[in-house]
Structure formats: C-alpha cells, structure tokens
Structure 1
Amino acid sequence: MRNTIITTILLFIAVIGASIYYFANLDGDKKKTLRPMTFLPKETFLIATLNNDATSDNIFKDFEIFDALVGSEAIQRWTSLKAKILRNASLQPYVDGVEMYISFHPEKEQITPLFTIPTLTPVEKADLPAIVDELRKTYQVTQKDTLGSRFFSFSGEEAADVFHVLYHEGIFFASYSAPLLHQILDDNAAKLEKAHIDYFIDNNNRNSPMSVYFIHDQIPQIAKQVLRRKSGDTLGLFEQLGGKSAWNLNFKNDALILSGESETSGKKDNYLEIYGHQAKTTQSLYNVFPESTASYLSFAISDTARFRQDLTALFTARQELDQLQQQFSQIKRDKGVSFETDLRPAFGREFAVVEQSNQTTLAFVVLADTAAWRQAAAPIVSEVADSIYRFNHANIPYALFGDPLKAFSRPYFIRLKNILVLANHQSLLHTYQQDWRRSDLLINTLGFKNFERIQGNEANITYFLRTRTAAGTVSNLLKPAYAKNFQDKDNFGYQDFYSWSVQISGNSGTFLSSIYGIYKSKSALGATPAWTYAFENRPITAPAVFEHSDTSQFILIQEQDHTVHAIHPTGKKLWSAVFHGRIVGQTQQLADRSLVSVTDRNQLYRFDPFGNSLPGFSLHMPYEPSYSPTIAQVGREQLIFVPAGRRIAVYTLEGKKVTDWDHVELDGRILFDIKVKNDRVFVGTDRGHFYQFGADGELQKEVVIEGSHFKNPIGLADNTQKQTAIYAVDTAGNLLSIDFEHTPAKSSLGASAPEAIVAFSPQGNEDARSIVAIDQKQLLLRDIQDSATHHEYTFTQIIEDRPQLFAANGGGRLLGIAVRGSSLIYLFDEQGELLDGFPVEALPGFYYGKIDYNSAPYLLCIRRDKKLYAFKN
C-alpha cells in the first residue's frame, strides 16, 4: 500500500493559500456574487476566495507558510504584480472591496492559476486605454482582440513570464496562460456545474480570511497530473467519492488549517460512505505506532451497529457478501466459531494501517474483550513463533472492517494488551516488538507532540503523513517538475512542514473535514537560535545565569574536561578556567557577586565574576561534597555549609574552617542541600534521621522515622501549627511533616513508586510552597498543605532526571522537566500548564529566564552537537 500518495493532494491544496495572499490584498467589504464562478472550466482542480479587507492584510503579513509553499521567486514576482497592477491608481477604484477568486487548472506538466476579479462598476470600453496607458509606465503592454474581447499582455524586467489579462462581462480574468483565458470565452467549453457553485456559496464563511472549494471528482485527474504512476490504496479510497468540499482557513502562525464540510455522491459501493452516519469519536491508536511511521490511516467507530449494517450493505453492493458468508459458515461448521456471535464482538471500535519509512506496513486493531478474543481465536489461529500467531483463514480482517485491511488477507499478528498488531511478514512484528520495548514510538518525537497540540484526536478517519520520514517516497511518486519543487530547500519550504493530515467525521450522512499542514516556523522556540556557543567536550552542568556587574549578567557552564566557561549574554566568551573536578550541585552567588562552587575532588572555590579566585580559595576539603553549598547567616557571621555525605563541612567567607562542626557525624547520607532558618540548621538523611542544629553546631533536636527510607531533597516550611518543619517524602510515597515539637504528621503523596522523584518549589527565596512529584511517567503537582493533587501530566517515557525550577514573574517558579529517552525538555507554569513553544528538542540540563537585566526570556539548552543554544522567546 502506498499511503503517501495522498500528500500530493494536500500539498496542492496548501499552495492555494499562498497564491491568494500575494494577489488579493485588496481593501474593502466582500461582495456576494455567483457570476465569476460560472465562467470557470469544468477542469478546475481547486477554487479559493479571500476576504479582501485590512484585517486579512494584517493576518497574512509575514506569514512564513506562504513563503514556504509558493517559493521566494514566485513571491517576488507576484508581489510586484499586485502592487503595480491591482494597486495602480487607475485600476484601484474598480476592484477595491471585491471578492476575488483564484482557481487552479491542469496544463501539460504544470498547474496554472487563474485570477478572477469582478469589478465594482463596469469599466467602459472607452476607459480601458487610459488604464492601460498608466500601466505602460511600468510594463510593456501589448493587446489584441479575440472573439470580440480584448486581451492585454504585461511583461517587464520583474516578470520572467508574460501575464495576460482579459476583461469580459465586468470581470477581469488574469493568468500566465493565454489558452486558459481562451477557455473562459469559449461558450462551447464545459463549465462548472451550478450545483457545485451553489454548495460553495452556501458554505462560504464570511468571517474566515480565506475559503477553499474542492470538487472530489478531480482527485483522479490531480493524481494523473502530478504522479508518476497509478495511485495506491489510500488515494483509491477517495477516487470514486464524488461530491465536493468547502473549507475555511483557521489562521495559525505555525500551521495551515482548513476546516469545513464535505458532501459525497452517496455511491453504495464506496467504502468511505459508511462513515457518513458515524460521529466523531476519540482516536487513541497512534499512541502505539512505531517511531519509523511515515504515514498512517486511522479509523474510529462511534456506532458499531450502524457500521456493521453499512459494511454489510457495501459487501452486498459489491456482490461479495454471499462469498464471505459461505466462508464463515464453513469455519463455524469446522471450528465451531461463529463470526457474528463469537468473533465480531471481541473486536473494538478502532483500527489503523501504518506505512513505515521503508514502505512496509503494519495494521493495528483494538480488541473490545480480550477474554472473548482468546476463546474465539483459539481454533482459528496458529502460533508460528514465540508470541507470534497467524490466522488460519483468509479475509477475516477485511470482513470485520473493510477496505483498509483488505491487504492483510491472512496476516501474522502479536497482541499488546488489548491491541492486535498485524503484518504480512513475521520479521516486521519482530522489529516492532523491539521498538515497543525500547519505547521507539511516534508519540515520543518532538514533531508529533507539536502536531498533537494543534490537531485534536476526535474524528472517524485520520490520515497523517510525516514529511521528512516520507520524503523519499513522495519524491519518487511525483513527476519530475513537482518533485523538483518538493526537494528545493532554497526556493521552497516543503521540507519545513513536519506533517500533513486530513481528519474526517460523519455528520448525519455528510461529513465534517479538516486539513492540517504543521509547519516548523523559523520563529518558533527552538528553531532559530539567537546565538550558539561551541565546546570542545560535552557540557556536564546546566547553564546558570549570574550577575556580572551593575549593568550586565553572564552565563556559567562546565564541560567534560572540567573547564568552566563564562559567557556574555550575546554569546561571546568572557573567560574560562579549569576546575579541579566536576562541579557538584549548583554554583551559588553571594551579595558581593562572588560565586561559590564545590567539586567532586573535594575542592571549594570562591571567585569573582571575572574568574579571579578570592583570597583563601580554592581550598581542599577533608570530605567529598554530596550537593550544593548553602551560604547563610548564622549568628552574626555568614558561613558556607557544604553537605558531604554523613558530614557537614563549614567555612567562613575567607576560607577558614569552622571547627565547631567537626564533631558532627550523621546517621545516613545527607539528603541533598542543607536548610538554614533563624540561626537554626536543618538536615535530613536517607535513613530517616532528621536534625536541628544550633549556630555553633550543637545538636538541638533529632527525630527518627523508623522503618522508612528517603531519597529526595527535603523542604522547609511552616506547618499548620505555624512551626518551622522539615517536609520529606519516603520511598513508600508518604509525605511527612517534622517540626521537632509534635508527632510527625503523615499523609499520602499520591506517588507510589519507590523511585518517585520529588522536589519542593518555594515562593521566591522563601519556604517551600508546593510539591512536585514524578512517578515514572506521571507528573503530580500539589500544595504542601493540601493533600489534593491540583494538576497531573502524563509523559510518554519514564522521567529519569530531577526537575529544575526557574524564577517566574510574581515570585513563583516555572517547572522544567527533561525526558532523556526522547531528548525533549518541557516547561510548566505554576498551574501545571505547558508553556507555549514546549516541548523543545534538547538534552537534560537547561535554563529558562532572563540572561541579562532587561532581556526577554531565553531558553539556554544543549544539543548533541556539544553547543549551547540561546533561543529568544
């Protein structure tokens, strides 16, 4: 099966939008009219109109998608024609405020646009010479009379082609093709049917900036025009559909979206007709498609009884029903399995066909009842390998669901819970099993996540094509002229579309339909960096931003050879220095702008923003630090507290060791950082020992949580009794509040996995306010005093890295999550909503926020090429 063929139709429709914008930026109100469309030839592939007013002008201004579709050369030519002809002072009064039509017509090895512009008032024959004389100032103009009408041809330095204009019965017709204009004048040439024109006018949304009309009977002609060879199975479903569609543009900077209604001819032997009496319903099978998916065709059924009735009518119309019934009667006699009462009820409401990058296909079918399936299938399938089976009889998938599964006559299959995966070769199932185990799935890719944000998952039929993955197949299917444009990355931008898709839903016998072209906009976050900074080795710390002076800030990051780089907000290197060891935790900045870091080689650094070590530093510590240092005022002195496993190393800002803390040895390893508040030092350990120390290192209080283990950082906040308390989460998912005065309070966090990752999010620089918990693939957010989860988010892969917290406007925090398996990073606001532009492709360890005092927010992230990327948001 060649699913990718249908993309040629989508690409062709998309070009309409670009043509309209560059020719039709006319001001004024839209005028209702039928007459212009009555002159169009029957061989009209598509028709489009534009709402010609200042609003449309602003909407389409700098719309990157049109540049990608039309090509830069055509844009320059069309823009010139629009400005110098349509906006000419002599012509403007006649066309200002009219509705313009753009239609596309086949001509040999090209598709030619025709521009149809009715005039507000008729242009008198005597006035035409004056208008032409004005245009002669810019173009070379020739004219001739044909069939009683006058043709004008414009050529000049800007235009590589001659542009022909005909004024006929109060309408301007313009094209690069003179023969096409001759068809307009030929009364004997077949024209558009009035029924089609009436449908288009009835479904024209006056509030839409653009409308597109399509006659389904043109699908075979379009395929013949642009394809090298006969269309495949997917396009074959649409070839005999009949009827027409009217779509309106939903404007979005990073997507071309056309949505509207479709009407078919009602042919009983056409497969898609059976979905006309279905209703949109949730589709979910895409969650299990392999990462190698190039395209898929997915179906969902809302009314199974009506579907079976209409499918039976289809088989009857094709004279196939008797043969199928005889086959299944024989199976019932031989195997005791009834197709209607045993087999059919076991199957669910969804199925799909996936074409992979190597042009092999898989099918996916949902089971409604796995127990019923096992019982019904046992006599009619055979195990051919470990967990791989094969149907003993042909045509079962086809009899259940019809045409899309006809190619899977007697397939092999595996079962994933309630989903059957079908293939015509065992090797394809072995490969898919590996993909499934490794989570190499379509939903784990960045492009598909962006696609999901724009296109919903409710429909009866969804066709999806992934441009880059299917590019080779598409290029081979297109005729040379069209393949050349598709592959041209300089003049066109087809490769910058992540995907093309069609969604269709039943609507009481007709259809609702939409077309989506998801575009990788150059202005999207993560697309075009403001600057990059290259490293010799892989960076090993997240980028962090610190104050450099009263007027500027800087970025600090360390690479694998332990070189620390200081980078200006413009991406220029300020200085670099090799540290002894890898920085542990995060670097801290003091009020005097000096910075403090510790490394895994027992080294403590304090240096200024220019990279100079302060007196007394660096110094060697007796213990290896286990996390970030804490700089805090204790007593009357500011001290550096360094967590070091079971020890606490304390130093003055001059680098002198505070010996009062030498005797402290804890039961267990310190849980990340040390908390300090009101001259008291708070520490928790992995063995459930929690401590409160005084300013001089004396132990004031200790609480032991028997039988519990801990692996996450602690938080510090006032509890409901207004007492300062340590908050900690044990490996059983219990949240404990320990204030050293009362019995520790315990409540369930809601994260049950022992490996759950927990963080406490503060308000500003103060106490913890909310809890972030990552339970494998599940993100849970809740207030520290409220046991109710106020937001959840489910990822497609297990999260391995700890969340990052970034300052947000208003003193809150933004939550950063990295998914190592898919190399995607996410950013959530305090309500748990994903920020626009995310996820972005990057490795774990990133920064989001200002990189200079008055800068816009930036995303600083690392990619596999060992570069730091700065993306302005």
Structure 2
Amino acid sequence: MRNTIIVTVLLFIAVVAASIYYFSDSSSKQETATKTLQYLPADTYFIAAFRNNETTDTIFQNFELFEAIQGKQDFDNLKTIKQDFLSAASIKGKVQDVEVILTYHPTKSGIASLYTVGLNEKINDKILEVLFQGVDKKYKKNQTDTLGHRIYSFDKGIKDSVLFCTLHENILFAGYNPSIIHQVIDKSVKKLDHKQIEFFISQNSKNTPLSLYFSNNQIAALAKKIMRSKFGMYLNQIDSLQGSTAWNLNFKDDALIFKGETQLNLNQHNYLQLFAHQSPQVQTLANFLPKNTSSYINYSLSDINSFHRSLSDLFTYRKEADKIKSHQKLIENEGKVIFQTDILPLWNDEFAIAELDNENILGLVSLADSSKFIETSKKISSNQGDDIYQFDYSNILYSSFGDPFKSFQRPYFTRIGKVLVVANQTGVLRKYRQAYFDNQMMSGTAIFKNHTAIQSNRANVTFYIEPETAKNTINNNLKSEYAKNFRDKELFGYQNFYSTSLQVSGNAGGFISGFYALYKSKNRFGGTAAWTFQMNSKLINNPWVFNQTENSKFILVQEQDHTVYALSPSGKELWKTLFQGEILGQPIQLQDRSILLNTRSRLYRFSPDGKLIPGFSVALPSNASAGLTLTNFNNEKRIYIPCSNQIAVYDLTGKKIEDWKNPSLNSKILFDLKAATIANQNFIIAGTSQGSVYFFNEAGTLIRKEELNVNGQTLKNPIGLITTSDMKNSFVIVPKDKGEVIKVPFEGDPIKLKIGDWGTNFTFNFEDVSGSADKDYVVLSDNNLSVYNQKDSTKYFAYKFVDDVSNRPLFFKVTNNNDLVAVGTDNRMIYIFNEDGLVRNGFPVEGMSKFYFGPIDFGNNSSYLISSKRDHKIYVYKF
C-alpha cells in the first residue's frame, strides 16, 4: 500500500529546518520579505527566512541532525556558502545582518535549493565583480550572460559543487542548479501569488529562530516528484488540498518541532476540510494499535453530527450521494436497520486507520454503546468464528466516516471493549487479537511514549509514522534515487528518526497544525548506550555502585546462575565470582571499603577486589528472608539478618553474637529490620505478615509487642520509620489495604489513618520523594503511582501507567535532597520521575525491571542508567 511514503515529505521539512539552523541566530528578529519572495517560482516547495549574523557561525555546528537529513554533499555545500561566501571579507559587510531566504524547488533531475540574499546597500554588476575577487582563490570563477543578466559560477573542482550566482533587483540569488536562477530572472515564469506571500509574512514569528512556509498543494507535488507509484489513501486526502501553511520552530536537541497555522481554500472540496470547524480532542485509539504498526491516522470529532452533515455534502459534491443512499436503502429493506437512526448513533467521536509492517491495514472505530452495537450488528453481519464477524452490506463504514474507510468495502471486524477493529482478512484480526491479549501494543514502546511526550495531546487529525518499521514500504515506493538516499546510512540519516507525526486541529475554518520528528541522536539522553557488557544469563538484582579506591568506583551485578561481576565505569570486567544464592536486600559498604551482604543461606564480606575478608563467608542458621541491617549501638557494629520468623546476629568478624536471645516471632518478618535510638534507648523493630510489630533491644529482649487489627489480611509491604527525640512522637508505619496505614508509636496506642484509595493488591514504600524534611508514602496500585505527604495525606503527584506494573518501585538518590522514584513496567519500560511527578527527560527507556540510576564514577556528575534486555546484555546509558 502506498501510504507510508508521506514520511519523506515530512522529513524533507526537517531538511529545510536543518539548513536554516546552520545559519540562523536564535535571538535574531525576522522582517518582511515581500521584495525577495515575489521573484520565486510558483512551484516552490518550501520557503524560510533568517538573518545572517556573525554569532551563528558556531550555533548548532555540532547538531548532528543537520548532516543526517541534509546529506553530506548538500551539508558541505551549505557550509561552503556560509564560510567561503557570506563570510568572505569582501562580501561580509554587504550581507551582515541581512535577511536570507532559503527555498527548495523541483528540477528535471531532482530537488534544488536556492539562497536569496537582499543586500543592505545598492550595488551593480561591476561592484559585484570586485567583491567576488575577495572570494577564496581555490575557486575558478566564470561568468555567462543569460536573459540580460550576468550569471557567475564558482568551481572548486568537486563534482556537483559548482555554485551559481546572479544579481537581480539588488538581490543575490545563489544555488547549485542554474535552472532555478533562470526561472527567477525569467519574467515569463509564473511567480508566487501575492496572497501567499502576505500570509507567510503575517505568520512569520518575530520570536523564534525561523518560520517555515509552504503552499499546501506543494506537499502533494513533492510526493509525486519522489514516488514511483500512485497515491494511497493517506496522500489522497491531501492531493487536492489548497491554501497555505506557516510554522514556527521550537528547538529541541533531539527533535524538530514546528507549530503554526494552516489556511485552507474554502472554495475547494476536500476530506480534511470536514475537520476545519471541529475543535481538538484527546485521541486514544493509538493505544489499541499493535506493536508492528508502521503508521496511522487518528481522527477525532467535537461535533459528530456536524461532521456527518458535512460528509453528506461532500458525497453530493462528488456525485456519490445516490450510490450511498442505495446501499443504505438495501440495509433497511433486508436487515430492517435504518442507517441514520440505527447505525450512525452506534459510533463515538473517534476513528483511525493504520498500516502494519507487512502492509496490511487496520481500521478502528470508537463505539458509543457496545451493547447496542452487539444488538444491531447481529442484523447486518455474519459470525466467522473466534469473535470475528463480517458486515453483510457494503460501504457501512465509508458512509459513516468517508475516505479513510474507502478500502473497507465489506470488512471483517472484532470488538475490543468499546473499540471496533476492522480488516479485509480474518487472519489479520486473529493476529491482532493475539497481540492485544499478549499486551504487545505500540503504546507500550519507548518510541511511542517518547514521541507522544513532544506532540500535542489534543488534535483532530494525527498522522504518525515510525520510519524503521515502515522502511520496506518506503523503499518500495520511492523512486530509485530517493530510495537510495533513504537507505544510505553513511551519507544520510533518514532511518535514524525514531518517529514523525503531523497534527492538525480545527480553527474556525482553518487549522492549527504541527510537525514533530524525534531523532536517534547520539547526544540524546538515553539515545545510545555508552557501553554494553554480555552476561551468560539474565540480571536478577538491581546493579549497585561502590567505591573501588578513594578516586574510583565499580559496578556490581549478579546474573541468574548467581555469578557476580565487578565492572569498571567504562564496562571492563574487573573480576567475577560465584555466590551461594541470590543477593538479598541492599549491600552495605563499610568505611574500609569492604562490602557486607547476604544471600538466602550465607553472610559475605569482601574487599573491592573480590577477595573474601578472613572469617567470611558465614553459613546462616536458617534461610534469610531479606537483606541485612547494620547497627552501631554503643559504638559496636552488629549485623541483623531476618530469617523468616527469627533474627540472626553477627559482629563484623563474622562471629555469631551469643548473648542475642534469638526470639521467635509469630509469622514471617516483613523485609528488612529497622534500627533506631530514641531517648537513649536502642531498638530493633520487626513487622510481621500477621500484623504484629516487635520492639527489641540490642540483646534481643522484647520491650514491646503490638498486635494490630488487620482483619485477617496477610501484610506484604515493608514497614516505615519516623523517629524524633521522644517515643510518643516516633512511629512505625504499617501499611494495609483500603488506603489505610497504621501508625504505631514507640509509646502509646496505634493510630489508624485513611490515606488514599488503593485496594488489596498494592506496593507501599516510605521514602523521601518530595525533598521535604519528612519521608513520603509511595503507593503503586492498579497501575497508578501516587505519592502522599505523610503529615497531612495530601497527594504530591499521581501517574497512570498504560502498561501493567507488578514490580515494586525503586528509589535512587541522585540529588542531596530527595530520592527519585523509578518504575519498571511489565512491558519492559523504565520510568524515572522527578519530584514534581513528571517523567524525567529521556524516559521511558526500554529495559528489564532490575536497574540502577545515578552516578557511576568520581569526577563525573552525569547520571547513568544501568539496565538489561532479553539478550542478557548490560546496557549503560548516559543522562
């Protein structure tokens, strides 16, 4: 199908932006360009204006997007004009701070660019010849006379790099294709319409680096120029589109973002015009598309009734109304279903079409009432088995929504909740249902999540494409020379775009529009792994970072066979060893840089070079249920390890503390033990799964036991601790279901508090997320992450995950003030949140749920994500 080819049109817009960025000054002002624009040919593809400032020589010079989409040859030509001509000593004064117009034009052999420079003082050809004498001597200069104008050429002996230039009406026109210059000076060549020029100038922002302008019909013209085949249903919607578009650029180091206005010719009849009087809506159908979607268009309506009236008028204009009515009459006679009163009310305000990587097509429609749809569909469809049906009558969807469903004459359909999914083959729908119920959806991918973060969340029409997924279709439909450029990863970088989208929203007969392209920048946060390390099996613990020496660190990871690796900050293996079992809890590094940790069966202490400290490892008397706690009561360090319903205690030499009374608790200890000293009294605190809280002293004597009323619930979350200078205001926090926590004071009666609305299946942590003096309640329930103030139970922030999340959040102290919340979803996406609840820049990133985020070496303030994928590799990303 010939749909995804539109990506090349959109990426061409990026070429224009990249070109301009090489020249533009982000703080400069733009002025009107009526004089220069009036000489440009009418078939000009794109136009942009910027000022030539000295300060722009180094702006964005390392912005890799330039060369990726411009191509090495054109990028070198671009630099040549800036460095060898506009910056030449003899010419520089004549063009300093003047407005430059960059335009792109069709030629017989391809597409050519033209640079138009209005001079700041009047000169003639004689003066110009003198100025050109100051150009670098490496150029061989020639001149010819054409159409009463002198055309100069500058040749440095490199193929396709001869620059042509002429002076016309005190404006310099320069480019690498002389035919465009001939069109400029030829009065018989049709030029840009004055209304188009006025629109561009009126929309030309004074506060952005550049404004990009094009006539809407030139998008289809460009597509025809580069395509080998006819339009598919995507491009058919813009084939006859008239009017103009002007966009202003918002700069982002790893993306191109344009926003502006699209003006339509209201005398034309085009499908997209049906949305011009709609208002933008939140679009949700993309969440129902499978992971192998290469492109889609999502449509949404604010007034579905006016849309249907306008669609009916369009059918009349196209002389299709009688055919449509005959189909509807057949449904009424045979199915006893009236189209206007029985079928149209079934639809909600959103629909979409999508192309998959194998070029199969899906259609989606939001249902207003699924139960009514089921009832009505029985009269107009046939059961094909496996929850798949086929419409018995033609053009039901085309009559309802128009052009997007023209290829679905009598489609098969299935229903997912309140969404109808249609296809022309039953096999496509069977694979779709399998992908949906296996949670293999596009909305769960890092590419889609990162792209939706930069585009608007409201629109009437959104076109989205992933070039990597769509590359086969793009290659098949581009003309050979353009397909070659698309595939060329050495000279171009088109396939390095993660994603691209175009959005339009109704605006009183016109459109507010935007273009978004996310690039695989090497400099993008999390874009490319700084290094990888191959393991033999999967990572089973969160990686840890410890001090190796006084000025270096190392990374500790453990894989499934319990092998432990020590890696340098650059990814070099320092040593490896085998532990007896999986590491539990958080290892602790001591002052001598040795590391304490325990597995289920043993206690380890080893130096940063991997050698065991004498006396270790130590066999535990019974299996540990969580990681150790280190105390320093009375200047004596002790190690406390929860072993189901008992506690094992050791000193730093690995010797068991004999005077520990080794009491038995009533049930399994929840996670690690807590230690506190309040009013000169030392405490070891344990919470149990049956809802009891035990307070021991350092010798194991039971000071207090509080049996809580948890209504028979088995507790599964760690306890929290609030300590002050007195026992009445120091608390153990015990989370329970139904949004409640119990505050157990060190002295006094327990206090039950209602905090939120979570149910029985939740995770609870007590960590400092907000950066305040107090720790916060962090709750993950039903894929909702919520952070509450523990003093007044107000909610700091909440986040709803699209994917299922069954993993407990992680916490990383990247700043001195607070912990960052981190979540790994079941769909292998990693999120890092700032204290304001916003997803940190560069996230989500694809990776398994065991990971680390923070610094990895001294002298390097950057944070790194250390994670893994299903290939059993460690991936380290710089942020």
TM-score range, shorter chain: over 0.9
Structure-to-structure mapping, 1:359-758, within 5 angstroms: 359-600=359-600, 602-661=601-660, 663-678=662-677, 679-706=682-709, 707-718=712-723, 722-731=728-737, 733-739=739-745, 741-750=747-756, 752-758=758-764
Say how many residue pairs are matched: 871
Query: What amino acid does structure 2 have at the position aligned with 1:819?
Result: T
Deviation at 1:766, TM superposition (A): 12
SS in 1 for 2:766: strand
Query: What amino acid does structure 2 have at the position aligned with 1:683?
Result: A
Instruction: With the length of structure 2 as denominator, give the TM-score of the two structures.
Output: 0.94
SS in 2 for 1:239: coil
Whether the 8 Å contact between 1:268 and 1:313 is mirrored in structure 2 is: no
Deviation at 1:72, TM superposition (A): 2.9
Q: String of CA shifts for 1:759-817, please: whole Å, max 9, x gaps.
A: 22148999971121111311111123333333211112221222211114233211111
Whether the 8 Å contact between 1:29 and 1:97 is mirrored in structure 2 is: no
Matched, 1:858 2:863: yes
Match of 1:816 among 818, 822, 825: 822
Distance 1:765 1:235 in 2: 51
Q: String of CA shifts for 1:229-272, please: whole Å, max 9, x gaps.
A: 11111101101111221122121111112221112222453211
Deviation at 1:159, TM superposition (A): 6.5
Whether the 8 Å contact between 2:822 and 2:833 is mirrored in structure 1 is: yes
Counterpart for residue 804 of structure 1: 810
SS in 1 for 2:102: strand
Counterpart for residue 786 of structure 2: 780
Query: What amino acid does structure 1 have at the position aligned with 2:630?
Result: I
Distance 1:860 1:97 in 2: 44
Query: What amino acid does structure 1 have at the position aligned with 2:628?
Result: P
Whether the 8 Å contact between 2:661 and 2:699 is mirrored in structure 1 is: no
Whether the 8 Å contact between 1:501 and 1:516 is mirrored in structure 2 is: yes
Distance 2:877 2:107 in 1: 45
Deviation at 1:365, TM superposition (A): 0.6
Match of 2:795 among 789, 792, 807: 789
Q: String of CA shifts for 1:634-679, please: whole Å, max 9, x gaps.
A: 3452110011112210001121111333541122111110111111
Deviation at 1:337, TM superposition (A): 2.4
Deviation at 1:59, TM superposition (A): 5.3
Whether the 8 Å contact between 1:778 and 1:794 is mirrored in structure 2 is: yes
Structure-to-structure mapping, 1:4-83, within 5 angstroms: 4-22=4-22, 30-53=30-53, 60-83=60-83
Query: What amino acid does structure 2 have at the position aligned with 1:21?
Result: Y
Counterpart for residue 836 of structure 1: 841
Measured at CA, do residues 774 and 765 of structure 1 come closer, stay the same or move farther in structure 2, by a change above 3 Å? Answer: closer
Query: What amino acid does structure 1 have at the position aligned with 2:653?
Result: E
Counterpart for residue 243 of structure 1: 243
Query: What amino acid does structure 1 have at the position aligned with 2:716?
Result: K
Whether the 8 Å contact between 1:51 and 1:206 is mirrored in structure 2 is: no
Q: String of CA shifts for 1:815-846, please: whole Å, max 9, x gaps.
A: 1111232x221111233222111112222222
Distance 2:11 2:230 in 1: 18
Unaligned runs of 5+ in 1: none
Deviation at 1:54, TM superposition (A): 5.9
Counterpart for residue 200 of structure 2: 200
Measured at CA, do residues 668 and 732 of structure 1 come closer, stay the same or move farther in structure 2, by a change above 3 Å? Answer: farther
Deviation at 1:569, TM superposition (A): 3.1
SS in 2 for 1:439: coil
Sequence identity, in percent?
38
Query: What amino acid does structure 2 have at the position aligned with 1:114?
Result: L
Distance 2:731 2:27 in 1: 66
Query: What amino acid does structure 1 have at the position aligned with 2:625?
Result: S
Q: String of CA shifts for 1:601-645, please: whole Å, max 9, x gaps.
A: x11111223333223222212111121110002345211001111
Instruction: With the length of structure 1 as denominator, give the TM-score of the two structures.
Output: 0.95
Structure-to-structure mapping, 1:110-259, within 5 angstroms: 110-135=110-135, 137-157=137-157, 160-259=160-259
Deviation at 1:350, TM superposition (A): 0.4
Query: What amino acid does structure 2 have at the position aligned with 1:687?
Result: Q
Measured at CA, do residues 845 and 587 of structure 1 come closer, stay the same or move farther in structure 2, by a change above 3 Å? Answer: same
Deviates more, 1:100-109 or 1:459-468: 100-109
Deviation at 1:358, TM superposition (A): 0.7
Measured at CA, do residues 765 and 28 of structure 1 come closer, stay the same or move farther in structure 2, by a change above 3 Å? Answer: closer
Measured at CA, do residues 628 and 469 of structure 1 come closer, stay the same or move farther in structure 2, by a change above 3 Å? Answer: same
Query: What amino acid does structure 2 have at the position aligned with 1:799?
Result: V
Deviates more, 1:500-509 or 1:851-860: 851-860
Deviation at 1:38, TM superposition (A): 1.7
Q: String of CA shifts for 1:88-108, please: whole Å, max 9, x gaps.
A: 111112211221112212222
Whether the 8 Å contact between 2:30 and 2:49 is mirrored in structure 1 is: no
Measured at CA, do residues 314 and 176 of structure 1 come closer, stay the same or move farther in structure 2, by a change above 3 Å? Answer: same
Distance 1:158 1:327 in 2: 64
Measured at CA, do residues 19 and 812 of structure 1 come closer, stay the same or move farther in structure 2, by a change above 3 Å? Answer: closer
Deviation at 1:510, TM superposition (A): 1.4
Matched, 1:263 2:263: yes
SS in 1 for 2:584: coil
Matched, 1:331 2:338: no
Whether the 8 Å contact between 1:257 and 1:517 is mirrored in structure 2 is: yes
Measured at CA, do residues 412 and 763 of structure 1 come closer, stay the same or move farther in structure 2, by a change above 3 Å? Answer: closer
Query: What amino acid does structure 1 have at the position aligned with 2:848?
Result: L
Measured at CA, do residues 25 and 659 of structure 1 come closer, stay the same or move farther in structure 2, by a change above 3 Å? Answer: closer
Query: What amino acid does structure 2 have at the position aligned with 1:3?
Result: N
Matched, 1:298 2:304: no
Whether the 8 Å contact between 1:31 and 1:97 is mirrored in structure 2 is: no
Deviates more, 1:454-463 or 1:784-793: 784-793
Measured at CA, do residues 778 and 766 of structure 1 come closer, stay the same or move farther in structure 2, by a change above 3 Å? Answer: closer
Whether the 8 Å contact between 1:267 and 1:273 is mirrored in structure 2 is: no
Deviates more, 1:639-648 or 1:763-772: 763-772
Distance 2:331 2:346 in 1: 17
Distance 2:700 2:768 in 1: 26
Whether the 8 Å contact between 1:848 and 1:857 is mirrored in structure 2 is: no
Distance 2:124 2:431 in 1: 72
Whether the 8 Å contact between 1:49 and 1:102 is mirrored in structure 2 is: yes
Counterpart for residue 767 of structure 2: 761
Whether the 8 Å contact between 1:80 and 1:158 is mirrored in structure 2 is: no
Distance 1:204 1:765 in 2: 43
SS in 2 for 1:430: helix
Counterpart for residue 349 of structure 2: 349
Distance 1:330 1:866 in 2: 60
Q: String of CA shifts for 1:5-38, please: whole Å, max 9, x gaps.
A: 2212112222112233346679976443312222
Whether the 8 Å contact between 1:94 and 1:123 is mirrored in structure 2 is: no
Whether the 8 Å contact between 2:105 and 2:113 is mirrored in structure 1 is: yes
Counterpart for residue 105 of structure 1: 105
Whether the 8 Å contact between 1:47 and 1:213 is mirrored in structure 2 is: yes
Measured at CA, do residues 763 and 439 of structure 1 come closer, stay the same or move farther in structure 2, by a change above 3 Å? Answer: closer
Distance 2:235 2:674 in 1: 65
Q: String of CA shifts for 1:267-308, please: whole Å, max 9, x gaps.
A: 453211111111212211111111111100111111223212
